Structure 1
Amino acid sequence: MKKTIAGIEIPDGVMAQAATAQIRGTESELIFHHSLRAFLFGALIGYRESLTFDAELLYVAAMFHNVGLNVKYHRSPYRFEVDSANAARDFLRRHVVIDRLIDEVWTAIALHTTPGIPEHMSPLVALISAGVQMDVRGARYDDFTAQQCDEIVQAYPRESGFKRKIIEAYARGMEHRPETTFGTVNADVLDRWDPNYRRLNFCGLVLGSDWPN
């Protein structure tokens, strides 16, 4: 049976159901609900702006976008976004999605925390970032009606203290690989979370390089 929230149908095809089952079984309720809200906010933006996108692929990308924060990746040498994108790619290959679309989902997830780039790419890439940024930091908050926000939050609640808890979830997913935060918003997370964290500075790297001048 189709479920519609704020005018958006939640995909319920075989692939979407498999993604839901996999993510529900591996992520906290906080992250799971955040992923669903990110899909809904992204889809609302897409339909409002008359963009052409595949809702099921948007849903899968939203489901997987934070997988790389899971404990199994804590020793990974990659940014958590890359681990998330790789997990989505493996999932989509099992469901025999064509390579071009897999690459688009990979890019959408890998770039979802990179400011200033996704909105200039394909609708799927732009909408994943927009949906996530709306739910996490309220980007474009005034573009949504109070009724839309209420319906989404009633269906998939933001836990009490969500702002603090989502920062903690990001931090715990990256604190074992702080070097991966260089040049990203993730550095802000560890800077606030870990008193011993020291940011790498691009200018310092340039001036301290082995080049003689």
Structure 2
Amino acid sequence: MTATPAATIGGIPIPDSKLAGEATELIRDITDDLIYHHSRRVYLFGARHGLHHGLDFDPELLYVGALFHDLGLTEKFRSSQQRFELDGADEARAFLTARGIPEDRARLVWEGIALHTTPEIPHHMAPEVALVTAGVELDVLGIGYDTLPPETREAIVAAHPRPDFKRRILHAFHVGLAHRPQTTFGNVKADVLARFEEGYTRPNFVQIIEDSPWTD
């Protein structure tokens, strides 16, 4: 796929295509300001990382991956019982294949979203996968903050503000996960419920093995 940049933020081109426009419209309609602006920052931070490191990536696929990555935290989709990452991944793949994107390309977007809370592994995968995680890690965890030129960071945050972001994103994680605590086992989101959900008991991998029905 090719996309002609219509605009830039902080020197980072934003895809201008029918596909990108439809993705933007859909996500703007079903997410609040918190998730929308976060998702756009994830694209911008991820794309900047890719450009800075000379990676060959498809901006449209990265854009869709970034925009859909937290869809599972929204009111429309967070009622499922699967991992919230899969909610967004499944919707993104359906969105792309419905518009004629080949399955192998849509699969890259699915993987980028599904794995964005799994440390390290995405960085060894295709750039469209790795860069979603890079964008999330910078915006949420601050990983790479000091490597980003201040003028780039300021331009991105001016276009997509993050007022009280730390508290609000943690609240969104809590609300999106409290009804499906089993899905946090083995991933970083267990920390959210351990901090904010009264009565939550973190599953213990060793105890699960020891309590399994096997006799030895």
TM-score band, normalised by the shorter chain? over 0.9
Percent identity of paired positions between Structure 1 and Structure 2: 48
Aligned residue for 1:57? 61
Contact 2:73 2:176 in 1 (8 A): yes
- Structure 2 residue 51 is the aligned partner of structure 1 residue 47: yes
Task: State the distance in 1 between where 2:67 and 2:206 align.
Answer: 36
What is the SS of the residue equivalent to 1:73?
Answer: coil
Aligned residue for 1:165? 168
What is the SS of the residue equivalent to 2:13?
Answer: strand
Matching residue within 107, 113, 119 for 2:111: 107
Aligned residue for 1:153? 157
Aligned residue for 1:95? 99
Contact 1:23 1:63 in 2 (8 A): yes
Opposite residue 16 of structure 2, the aligned amino acid is D
Q: Which runs of 5+ in 2 are unaligned?
A: none
Distance apart, 1:71 and its partner CA: 2.3
Task: State the distance in 2 between where 1:23 and 1:106 align.
Answer: 16
Task: State the distance in 2 between where 1:63 and 1:40 align.
Answer: 11
> TM-score, normalized by length of structure 2?
0.96
Superimposed CA distance per residue, residues 164-209 of structure 1 (whole angstroms, 9 cap, x where no aligned partner)? 1001001111111111100000101111111211111100100111
What is the SS of the residue equivalent to 1:103?
Answer: helix
Matching residue within 21, 25, 42 for 1:17: 21
RMSD (Å), alpha carbons: 1.0
Task: State the distance in 1 between where 2:74 and 2:139 align.
Answer: 20
Matches within 5 A, 1:1-213: 2-159=6-163, 161-213=164-216
Aligned length: 212
Q: Runs ≥4 in structure 1, deviation > 2 angstroms?
A: 71-75
Contact 2:30 2:76 in 1 (8 A): no
Distance apart, 1:10 and its partner CA: 1.3
Task: State the distance in 2 between where 1:189 and 1:105 align.
Answer: 25
Task: State the distance in 2 between where 1:151 and 1:74 align.
Answer: 31
> TM-score, normalized by length of structure 1?
0.97
Task: State the distance in 2 between where 1:27 and 1:197 align.
Answer: 27
